[in-house]
């Protein structure tokens, strides 16, 4: 028996009494709203629904009870339901689904929705609502769900008529997954879930107002290719769009063909293999010296699926000081020329556009300027030789970087890694070399502490046989620690790698640098005994105090003996360690603070 067998074997574990009458699905033409919701999800091929019941969704839960097309995963807090659905989407490229009740169910879900929105993740969140006649009367557990979520969804719907329900569900899945992906909320009042109508799930739905551009403009792509071939100091800056658009193959081929250096944003990690010689690592606030210097000093920049975030280019005025021509490929026109003016905008899907550009490149008679490129690489290697990610490997106290490096070794660089938010997130990004897309699962745009554990759950369920590690901090993990219980119920064998510095390290770092070391409220004391805590849920707990024990602990956690177990590793790390390099807020990209300078 594998830990996940029960997910497909009906009647085991959590639904001892469920009846699995498949015929229920096709016997009746007429269906209630609740049946329609469930049947639409099944039609979409949904594997998991992450949710939490309540009054407004009880009809839907009753239909879930009667079916066996998808598995419902009962979380312990609605925020975690949305995070898990979001992680499922990040790790698979498919739409993640969450289901929550009205009122507090929705407000708890909002952080999850906003997190997915900021990172353009396709999820559908079905929310219960009070019955239509009660809407607006301050009914029990009523909130204006469409109003509350509007600023943090790609789109949302309130379904007032059961006849619209199936088409709305279809639209929700289409909108979430196409164009620039994002979360869609479908708010379903309780009476609608009880009403009957003829059910037919449309294969597709036309929306005259929604037609994302997929193909790039051929003239612009020609100009772009020309510009790339003329470059003396080229640079490829690849973001989350490359991962979201499943274009890492095309990107890697293009980079190889041209021989250009590549940097990834935090969201783009794995979009180009980190161990490739052409990869300069992450850029931005905590990017590598070589990536940031090359970004600042290049003469032609190809930006793909990246949005010139403030954590990436630093001060835009400083960035604009150097002359460079910019080609920007993005599916969302509003990402283009938002913070930085570009020369060649190409609106389209990254896979589509890169495929076309590759074809143009292969036809082109010109070749990249080898001499110029050589000189450029010499410069880059000089920057690289600063070895900006070096740290003290002989410390008697566990260095957090060391734990991540060892994790990479022990998992052979092939794990799915989720993280929370803080210093540990940056160390994970810097020291775990992601060679494949969709392996690095974190909250970049919203920076939501608490995502790590629910993210790991969503990923592990999506890939039951994979190694899944959650790199977290002792502060972040406590924001969704209740999910240890979900892991127990579903026996989800994720491995938690907690870098415990007894501080909100990222906050402490800023206070050290910019607030005269006045550590206002950034300590984390009164911590639980995490080993006992994990054990109390039936998991394996480990506490690691010495550097020499790090590797052994990781090896044990990822050994076949513990493959089916959740393991919680509490690494007692150096409290004073800081993340370097660092570009201070408002500073230019090339004005980095390096470890050795302090």
Residues near another protein (CB under 8 A): 146-147, 150-151, 154-155, 158, 175, 207-210, 332-334, 337-338
Q: How far is CA 50 from CA 25, 81, 417, in A?
A: 21, 5, 20
Angle (CA) 593-594-595 rounded to 5° is 125
* Among residues 244, 293, 484, 497, the one that binds ligand FAD under rule CB under 6 A: 244
CB of 561 to ligand FAD, least distance (A): 35
Three-class SS of 411-450: CCCCCEEEECCCHHHHHHHHHCCCCCCCCEECCCCCCCCC
**337 is in the binding site of which of another protein, ligand TPP, Mg ion, none (Cβ under 5 to 8 A by kind)?**
another protein
**47 is in the binding site of which of another protein, ligand FAD, ligand TPP, none (Cβ under 5 to 8 A by kind)?**
none
Give the residue from 482, 568, 450 showing the smallest Cα distance to 52: 482
Q: Is residue 579 within 8 Å of residue 564, measured between CB atoms?
A: no
Q: What SS3 state is found at 596? A: helix
* Among residues 54, 128, 305, 493, the one that binds ligand FAD under rule CB under 6 A: 305
Residue 348, CB half-sphere, CA atoms under 13 Å: how many? 20
CB of 549 to ligand FAD, least distance (A): 28
Burial class (CB in 10 A: 0-12, 13-18, 19+), 102: buried
- Smaller CB distance to ligand TPP: residue 135 or 524? 524
- Mark whether 190 is an active-site residue: yes
How many whole angstroms separate alpha carbon 184 and alpha carbon 124? 5
Give the residue from 478, 501, 489 showing the smallest Cα distance to 420: 478
Contacts of 28 (CB under 8 A, 6+ apart): none
Residues of span 426-455 touching ligand TPP by CB under 6 A:
447-449
Any idea what DSSP says for residue 489?
H
Q: What SS3 state is found at 109? A: helix
Residue 268 in contact with ligand FAD, rule: CB under 6 A: yes
Residues of span 5-44 touching ligand FAD by CB under 6 A:
none
- Mark whether 35 is an active-site residue: no
Residue 420 in contact with ligand TPP, rule: CB under 6 A: yes
Considering 63, 78, 474, 483, which one is annotated as catalytic? 78
Residue 223 phi/psi, 5-degree rounding, is: -60, -40
Q: Is residue 7 within 8 Å of residue 71, measured between CB atoms?
A: yes
**331 is in the binding site of which of Mg ion, ligand FAD, another protein, none (Cβ under 5 to 8 A by kind)?**
ligand FAD
From the list 78-86, 145-153, 248-256, 304-312, the region that binds ligand FAD by CB under 6 A is: 304-312
Site string for ligand TPP, 484-523 (x = CB under 6 A): ---------------x-x-xxxxx----------------
Residue nearest to Mg ion (CB): 473
Would you name the residues annotated as active-site residues?
78, 140-141, 190, 506
What is the binding site for ligand FAD (CB under 6 A)? 119-120, 180, 239-241, 244-245, 265-268, 282-287, 305-307, 309, 311-312, 330-332, 335, 349-350, 421, 425-426, 444-445, 447, 506
């Amino acid at each position: 028996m594998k830990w996940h067998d029960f997910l497909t074997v009906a009647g085991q574990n959590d639904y001892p009494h469920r009846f699995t009458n498949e015929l229920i699905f096709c016997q009746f033409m007429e269906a209630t709203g609740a049946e329609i919701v469930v049947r639409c999800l099944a039609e979409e091929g949904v594997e998991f629904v992450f949710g939490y019941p309540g009054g407004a969704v009880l009809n839907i839960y009753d239909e879930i009870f009667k079916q066996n097309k998808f598995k419902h995963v009962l979380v312990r807090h609605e925020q975690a339901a949305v995070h898990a659905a979001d992680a499922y989407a990040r790790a698979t490229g498919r739409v993640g689904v969450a289901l929550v009740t009205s009122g507090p169910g929705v407000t708890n879900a909002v952080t999850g929705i906003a997190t997915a929105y900021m990172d353009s993740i396709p999820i559908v969140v079905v929310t219960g609502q009070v019955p239509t006649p009660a809407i607006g009367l301050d009914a029990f557990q009523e909130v204006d769900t469409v109003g509350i979520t509007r600023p943090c969804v790609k789109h949302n719907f309130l379904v007032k008529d059961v006849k619209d329900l199936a088409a709305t569900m279809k639209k929700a899945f289409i909108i979430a997954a196409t164009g620039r992906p994002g979360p869609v909320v479908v708010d379903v009042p309780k009476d609608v879930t009880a009403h009957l109508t003829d059910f037919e799930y449309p294969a597709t739905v036309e929306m005259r107002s929604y037609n994302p551009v997929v193909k790039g403009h051929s003239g612009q792509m020609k100009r772009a290719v020309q510009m790339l071939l003329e470059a003396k100091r080229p640079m490829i800056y690849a973001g989350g769009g490359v991962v979201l658009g499943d274009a890492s193959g095309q990107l890697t081929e293009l980079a190889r063909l041209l021989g250009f250096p590549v940097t990834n944003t935090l969201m783009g990690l794995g979009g180009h293999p980190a161990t490739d010689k052409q990869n300069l690592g992450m850029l931005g606030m905590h990017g590598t010296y070589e990536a940031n210097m090359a970004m600042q000093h290049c003469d032609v920049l190809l930006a793909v699926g990246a949005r010139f975030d403030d954590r990436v280019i630093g001060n835009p005025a400083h960035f604009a000081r150097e002359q460079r021509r910019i080609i920007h490929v993005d599916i969302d026109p509003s990402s283009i020329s938002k913070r930085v003016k570009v020369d060649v905008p190409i609106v389209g899907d990254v896979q589509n556009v890169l495929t076309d550009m590759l074809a143009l490149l292969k036809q082109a008679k010109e070749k990249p300027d080898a001499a110029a490129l050589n000189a450029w690489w010499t410069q880059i290697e000089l920057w690289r030789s600063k070895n900006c990610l070096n740290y003290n490997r002989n410390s008697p106290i566990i260095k957090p970087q060391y734990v991540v490096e060892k994790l990479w070794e022990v998992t052979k660089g092939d794990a799915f890694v989720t993280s929370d938010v803080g210093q540990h997130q940056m160390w994970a990004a810097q020291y775990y070399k992601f060679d494949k897309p969709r392996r690095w699962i974190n909250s970049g745009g919203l920076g939501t502490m608490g995502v790590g554990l629910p993210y790991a759950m969503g990923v592990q369920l999506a890939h039951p046989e994979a190694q899944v590690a959650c790199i977290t901090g002792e502060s972040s993990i406590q924001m969704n620690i209740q999910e240890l219980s979900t892991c127990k119920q579903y026996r989800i064998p994720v491995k938690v790698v907690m870098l415990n510095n007894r501080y909100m390290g990222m906050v402490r770092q800023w206070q050290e640098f910019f607030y005269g070391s006045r550590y206002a409220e950034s300590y984390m004391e009164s911590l639980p005994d995490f080993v006992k805590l994990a054990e109390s849920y039936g998991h394996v707990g480990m506490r690691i105090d010495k550097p020499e024990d790090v590797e052994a602990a990781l090896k044990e956690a990822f050994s076949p003996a513990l493959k089916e177990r959740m393991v919680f590793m509490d690494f007692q790390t150096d409290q004073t360690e800081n993340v370097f390099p660092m570009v201070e807020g408002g500073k230019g990209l090339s004005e980095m603070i390096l470890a050795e300078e302090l």
